[in-house]
Amino acid sequence: MAETVKLVCATCGQTNRVPRERLAGGPKCGSCGEALADGRVHELDGLSHDKAVRDDELPLLVDYWAPWCGPCRMMAPEFAKAAKSLAPQVRLAKLNTEDHPAISQRAQIRGIPALVLYRRGREVARLAGARPAADIVAFVQGHMAARA
């Protein structure tokens, strides 16, 4: 039987089991049809954030940001480039700290932009400040290699 990984849909919150060898083929949510590991950055809400952090079996890098934050807006295209580069082995998502202050408080976000790398329900590492795509990719790959 093929090894599967659990991925939480950022749109509807449904947990999906995807065969690992099909990750590169653009798997879609069985409930709503949204792409699960397509190299795009997905916006999380409170429910999908908590469920994805807890249940995703792929590493998940979350950008905690706010619309009024200049460095956050400047980093957004770089974060999107990193998402394309890291897919389908790592998923990248954003959480608006202004819309979800309780989650940012619980995650102990002290400044934004803040990148937090999660794996199997645990925080692996964090990186503060706006970064170019190459730095984001190196950060994730360095921490994934150390945990492999």
Catalytic (active site) residue 69: yes
Closest Cα partner for 66 from 91, 94, 86, 42?
94
SS3 content of the chain, % helix, strand, coil (to 5): 35, 25, 35
- Amino acid letter for position 85: S
Catalytic (active site) residue 9: no
Instruction: Identify each DSSP E strand in the chain by its residue range.
Output: 4-8, 15-19, 42-44, 60-65, 91-96, 114-119, 122-128
CA distance 28 to 34: 5
Among residues 9, 29, 32, 69, the one annotated as catalytic is 69
Among residues 9, 12, 29, 72, the one annotated as catalytic is 72
List residues with catalytic annotation.
Answer: 69, 72
